[in-house]
Amino acid sequence: MNRRFPASTFVSERLLQCLWQDQSFDPQRFRSVHNQHIAVLEPGVWNCEAGPDFVHALIQVEDAAPIMGDVEIHLRPTGWFQHRHHLDRLYRRVILHVALEDDGQLPIYHLANNANAITQAALRPALRQDIQDLAQTIDLWAYPFGHPRTVRPCRNVLNEMSPLDREAFLEAAGMERFEKKIQRLALWIGVCGWPEAVLRALFDTLGYRNNRGCMRELFDRRFHLAFDHPLTEEEEIAVHLGIAGLLPLSLPHPADSAARARRYHQICWRLEILPAEPPLNWCRHNVRPANSPHRRVVAAALLYHDFERLWDHVRQELLESALRPPVHTPAPPSIRDPFWDHRSGWDTAPSDRPTALIGAPRWLEILGNVLLPAAALHSDITEEAALGYAARRCFQALPPAATNRRLKEAITRLLPQTRQPPSTHRLPFIQQQGLLEIFMETCLQARAPCSDCRLNRLIEQWYGPDPD
């Protein structure tokens, strides 16, 4: 008699993730638990950070319009609640929940801020082979950076380019992205003026991934406040923490933290700053202490207070760079606070060594994404040609930035793959931006399967092999 072992005895979620990446099932038999056919137009990109297993997938249920979102995979449907995904906003874009089989315990999905209908599907009925046989043929730890079985057309064409052609192509895309940043800043200058448009972009960059929305809201709240005197640095920090909802309601335990919190509350009381309403929903999950919301808000307050000094510093260094080779990257200004240089929150113990509120990696992002486009735009407005020339040259010479999740997705999808993780691809900043431009403007915006992507046809037309 054949005995059916529980799925978890020999099968892991990682195996299911590998099967999903390779699409190792019969697409005609892949159906939801309600017997609706699911067409997987794009399986998504394997997510190596916190959140769903695959991001930016594209599926079509029966004859409905294709939808883009994330995919989460478990051995059993009840894993959704066991892993508490229903309470985690990182899963708000999930559109498909895949389990090995439907065990009759289909959960009811309750997920705050999720406007998508989550489709539930079982993988086992669509498999072409017994899952135990499939497990014997897969090297689990070669994924996701090993050689995938399904190679996208654009990667084939990029592979066939010479290194110089590929670099030129990515740099051209990077400059296209740079010009788009200039256009976006120009639109915001029409809304709120200079320097407020640049400050808003600075706040957005400091938000970094999950707190961008909160930082944009913080800027809007500060922008609409007016005072009868210029604020000091301490007052600016107190105001920002107050309207961000990050002042403690009760005094923290460390004596110096309690004294600092009391002082900030007194400043807010004197300036008639009311508690934040509605409160901002800061994300603290999977955030490094050095990038805590408190430190980011303090950094934003200091930039807001000293923006003119920051701008003069960057402008002067760029103009000096225009007069002498090689290209000089503006050094980060001193953005310091004696209290927050040593803390990530009110109740945390002070560190022995200070940690910069804006470190070198974040400064590089601020330069490439905000200040250099702002300098190029300012040169167009003031007809200061040397400033725009220096800003573009500096952008082209920026060193590699840290690989965030979006860049890892672009590298995994578009570049020739090795067994090394995407973080080892040390591309110059401009080529990283080129990858992001291609990925975000084609892979994410097209909402079509790779076979219909116009990028592949354009690359083949511009850089493809000769017909003969």
The pLDDT profile of the chain, 468 residues, written as one tens digit per residue, is 333 334 434 688 888 998 998 888 999 999 998 889 999 988 887 887 778 998 888 899 998 888 888 999 998 888 888 888 877 777 888 999 999 887 665 555 544 445 567 888 999 999 988 888 888 777 776 676 554 555 566 666 677 778 888 899 899 999 999 999 999 899 888 878 888 999 999 999 998 777 888 898 999 999 989 999 999 999 999 999 999 999 998 888 889 999 999 999 999 999 999 877 777 888 887 788 889 999 999 999 999 999 999 999 999 989 887 777 666 778 787 889 999 999 999 999 899 999 999 988 899 999 999 999 999 999 988 888 899 999 999 999 999 998 877 787 778 777 766 555 555 568 899 999 998 888 777 766 555 556 666 666 666 666 555 444
Rounded to 10 degrees, the C-alpha dihedral 145/205/95/434 comes to -50
Three-class SS of residue 285?
A: coil
pLDDT at residue 3 in the model: 35
pLDDT at residue 458 in the model: 64
pLDDT at residue 2 in the model: 37
CA 263 to chain centre: 35
The span from the CA of 317 to the CA of 311, in Å, is 10
The span from the CA of 300 to the CA of 348, in Å, is 21
8 Å CB contact between 147 and 417: yes
User: What number of CA atoms fall less than 13 Å from residue 239's CA on the CB side?
Assistant: 24
Joined together, the tokens standing for residue 174 give: 């990077």
DSSP string, 73-95: EESSTTHHHHTTGGG-GGGTTEE
8 Å CB contact between 180 and 433: no
Q: Is the peptide bond before 144 cis (omega within 30 degrees of 0)?
A: yes
Residues near 276 by beta carbon (within 8 Å), at least 6 away in sequence = 221, 242, 243, 244, 245
Q: Is the peptide bond before 373 cis (omega within 30 degrees of 0)?
A: no
Beta bridge partners of 289: none
CA 128 to chain centre: 36
3-state secondary structure 60-74: EECCCCCEEEEEEEE
pLDDT at residue 432 in the model: 93
pLDDT at residue 271 in the model: 94
461-464, long-range: CB < 8 A, 24+ apart: 462/169, 463/157, 463/160, 463/161, 463/165, 463/169, 464/157, 464/160
Joined together, the tokens standing for residue 447 give: 């909402």
pLDDT at residue 111 in the model: 44
Beta bridge partners of 385: none
DSSP summary character for residue 139: -
Residues near 164 by beta carbon (within 8 Å), at least 6 away in sequence = none
Cα 14–52–363 angle (5° rounding)?
115
Joined together, the tokens standing for residue 365 give: 């992002």
Rounded to 10 degrees, the C-alpha dihedral 309/313/318/323 comes to 120
The span from the CA of 103 to the CA of 280, in Å, is 39
